[in-house]
Each structure stands twice: as structure tokens, then as C-alpha cells.
């Protein structure tokens, strides 16, 4: 099944949005200020998607998968900039960009390409492995983390929050977004954390496998 939706798109390298996760954004470019104004005057949603590596980020090609986000928090600053918070709704598969009368980019997307309807869960062993590797990576990078608060997150929020904030490259973050299930995303996340921990320590224990 498929269902086409036309959405304004925000191509931003390294910024990943997952269903039921939140993503804070600072909007300062004029075209994206206009995008936010039009969104809040309309359905209140924006499609987050990563651009493919390019020398010209203003007109770069896009990855094939992103996520629609609903604007659930907004602050307009005196100079016209915005601070917004997006709440992930549905992952989508890009169909095609569309010509519209706007300075920002829009696209037709298939929002039923992924089954994101039910909050999934991990096995107890997989949950423990994700938490363990997150602690090890945090220690290797010298990060101050409230692990007690982290332990209270549900499985989906734990995996997605780490995927959003961890210092992975664009390709790795995209691979995490495209994993079909939470369990497979957690497996890849563990591989990536192990690899980055080894790299931070000056070694290479494991090479992550990106499909």
C-alpha cells in the first residue's frame, strides 16, 4: 500500500527524526523561515530528510527515506528566526520533488512505505546491550550523561535518542533511519557504538555493516 502526501522538506545533513521522537531545530535561513511560517499556517508538518553529500547543499540530491514531523513547539524570535520542536509522525519514501511557488523545496512522499503504527519493544538482553554500549561510548568520549534518566526511557525512545545525538556520519544515521524494525536498528546501533568507541580509543575492533 502507499499514500502520497505533499510536504515541505528540510534537507539537513546529520539531523535524523524518528517516529514518536522529538527534534529541536533552530531556523535561521530565510527560505526555511518562510517554510515554517507556511507550515504553521497550514497542516503544521515538515518532512525531514538528509541530503546526499554534495558541494552545493542548496540544490543537493536527497536520500530516499525521511520522516514527517509535526510542529509541537515553536518560538519566534524578534529577528524572525524560529526555535521549533518536531515530533516524528511517519517515516516516508521520497517519490519526487515538486515545483511549487515557494523558495523552499517540496516533495511528494509515500507515508505508508513503513509500518510505524505500533510502538515496538526490544528483548531484555538487547535492551541491556544497547545501554551497556551507550555507557561505554559515553565514557570513551568523556560525556557527562544522566544514566539514571536514560534507563527510564522506553525501548524505542532509547534507541532513537542515541541514534539522533551520537556522533555518527550521515550515511550511518541514514542507515539507522532505514532499518525496518526497532530490533534491527538496535543491532546496527550497537555495532556503530562499538566501532566509534574503538576509534575513540585508537583501535578498530569492529567495522559496522551498513546495508
- Supply the CATH number for residue 93's domain: 2.30.130.40
Q: Report the pLDDT value the prediction gives residue 200, as an integer from 0 to 100.
A: 78
Assess whether 64 and 11 both reside in one domain: yes
> What digits encode the pLDDT tens for the residues 110-121?
999 998 877 778
Q: Report the pLDDT value the prediction gives residue 205, as an integer from 0 to 100.
A: 47
Assess whether 81 and 18 both reside in one domain: yes
Assess whether 15 and 89 both reside in one domain: yes
Give the CA-trace dihedral at 170, 174, 175, 181, to 10 degrees. 150
Assess whether 94 and 149 both reside in one domain: no
Assess whether 104 and 136 both reside in one domain: no
Q: Is residue 115 part of a domain?
A: no
CA distance 197 to 183: 21
Assess whether 80 and 154 both reside in one domain: no
Q: Is residue 208 part of a domain?
A: no
Which residues of the chain carry a pLDDT beneath 70? 1-2, 55-58, 203-211
Give me the domain span that covers residue 81. 4-110
Assess whether 134 and 106 both reside in one domain: no
> What digits encode the pLDDT tens for the residues 28-69?
999 999 999 999 999 999 999 999 987 665 678 999 999 999
Cα-Cα end-to-end distance for the chain: 24
Q: Is residue 163 part of a domain?
A: yes
Q: Is residue 181 part of a domain?
A: yes
Domain count, the chain: 2
Assess whether 19 and 91 both reside in one domain: yes
Classify residue 116 by its DSSP letter: -
Q: Report the pLDDT value the prediction gives residue 5, as an integer from 0 to 100.
A: 92
Assess whether 68 and 164 both reside in one domain: no
Q: How far is CA 55 from CA 52, 58, 59, 60, in A?
A: 10, 9, 9, 8
Model-wide pTM > 0.75: yes
Classify residue 50 by its DSSP letter: P
Number of neighbouring beta carbons within 10 Å of residue 59: 9
Q: Report the pLDDT value the prediction gives residue 73, as an integer from 0 to 100.
A: 97
Q: Is 87 helix (H, G, I), strand (E, B) or coil?
A: strand
Nearest residue to 137 (alpha-carbon basis) of 203, 200, 187, 208: 200
Assess whether 94 and 51 both reside in one domain: yes
Nearest residue to 9 (alpha-carbon basis) of 79, 76, 96, 84: 96
Number of neighbouring beta carbons within 10 Å of residue 13: 16
Q: What angle do CA 97, 13, 96 make, to 5 degrees?
A: 10
Domain boundary among 110, 138, 162: 110
Assess whether 9 and 97 both reside in one domain: yes
Q: Report the pLDDT value the prediction gives residue 134, as an integer from 0 to 100.
A: 95
Amino acid at each position: 500500500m502507499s499514500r502520497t502526501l505533499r510536504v515541505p522538506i528540510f534537507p539537513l545533513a546529520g539531523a535524523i527524526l524518528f517516529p514518536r521522537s522529538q527534534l529541536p531545530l533552530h531556523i535561521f535561513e530565510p527560505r526555511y523561515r518562510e517554510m515554517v511560517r507556511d507550515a504553521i499556517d497550514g497542516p503544521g508538518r515538515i518532512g525531514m530528510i538528509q541530503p546526499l553529500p554534495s558541494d552545493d547543499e542548496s540544490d543537493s540530491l536527497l536520500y530516499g527515506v525521511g520522516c514527517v514531523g509535526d510542529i509541537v513547539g515553536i518560538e519566534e524570535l524578534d529577528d524572525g528566526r524560529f526555535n521549533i520542536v518536531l515530533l516524528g509522525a511517519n517515516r516516508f519514501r521520497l517519490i519526487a520533488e515538486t515545483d511549487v511557488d515557494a523558495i523552499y523545496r517540496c516533495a511528494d512522499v509515500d507515508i505508508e512505505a513503513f509500518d510505524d503504527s505500533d510502538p515496538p519493544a526490544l528483548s531484555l538482553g538487547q535492551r541491556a546491550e544497547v545501554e551497556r554500549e551507550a555507557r561505554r561510548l559515553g565514557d570513551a568520549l568523556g560525556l557527562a550523561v544522566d544514566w539514571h534518566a536514560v534507563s527510564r526511557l522506553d525501548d524505542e525512545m532509547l534507541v532513537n535518542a542515541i541514534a539522533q545525538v551520537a556522533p555518527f556520519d550521515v550515511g550511518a544515521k541514514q542507515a539507522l533511519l532505514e532499518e525496518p524494525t526497532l530490533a534491527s536498528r538496535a543491532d546496527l546501533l550497537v555495532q556503530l557504538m562499538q566501532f566509534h568507541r574503538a576509534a575513540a580509543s585508537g583501535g578498530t575492533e569492529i567495522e559496522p555493516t551498513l546495508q
